[in-house]
Amino acid sequence: MEKFIIIGGPQATGKSSFITTLKEEYQKTPDPFGKESSPIFPLQESRQVIAHQYMLQGAIFMKRKHEIEVINCDFNRMDTILKRYNNQITYVDECNVFTLAHASAHGIVGMEKYLNSYIKRLKKLRTRILFIDTPVEISWERRKSSYEQRLIYFLKKDREGIMQRYHDYLEKTYLLLMKMYEDIPFPKVMIDGNQEKSEVYKRALNAFLKLS
């Protein structure tokens, strides 16, 4: 049976960078790490799919309908994988069930009922969790310039408030993500993302190989 590894963690912790670099390594050679690894299939994060579809300038602007679409995107994708059944592939997804923490972080209620549906599918997929932990203030410093660039799309009088919303969202999300990591019933590894990019990749790779 296939394996399914979720890369979770706060924003600006290196999740996307790790997945991109991992994909590049696997494209160079069929067995890049010398352990007869199965090929990986990175999935585009559902939150990004929906955010781009609606041209949203960040998760703080996602509404309930967007969150439901993210969840359905995840469900449809996992159902498709289960139907295909390929024991030679390791699927790598960013966020996945952790999207429920993001939804709760900006005040959307009623997401809990979807947790069991996630868990049911993820158990069938033999899911593992790799969580890259980064403190809120480090995430903020890494992401702040990106947020500032988005301000050109807003009125000057609203910009200070929007930056505060970005920061508050990071704080709320962090606590909810950590709780979800502790509660989720799958094999999991947490690594420290408050390191140089090369060191984060090294640690994440070691954890990934153990999980896979």
* Those residues with Cβ within 8 angstroms of residue 70's Cβ, 6 or more apart along the chain or in another chain: 46, 47, 49, 50, 62, 99, 103
Looking up residue 120, the CATH number of its domain turns out to be 3.40.50.300
65 located within any domain:
yes
The answer to whether position 95 is within a domain reads yes
Residue 131 belongs to a domain: yes
pLDDT tens digit sequence for 58-73: 999 999 999 999 999 9
pLDDT band, residue 98 (cuts 50/70/90): very high
| Full residue range of the structural domain in which residue 94 is found | 7-211
Residues above pLDDT 90, as percent of the chain:
76
Residue 10 has pLDDT above 70, yes or no: yes
Is 23 within a domain? yes
Q: How many domains, in total, are found in the chain?
A: 1
Asked if the structure places residue 87 within a domain, the reply is yes
CA dist 117 and 121 (Å) reads 6
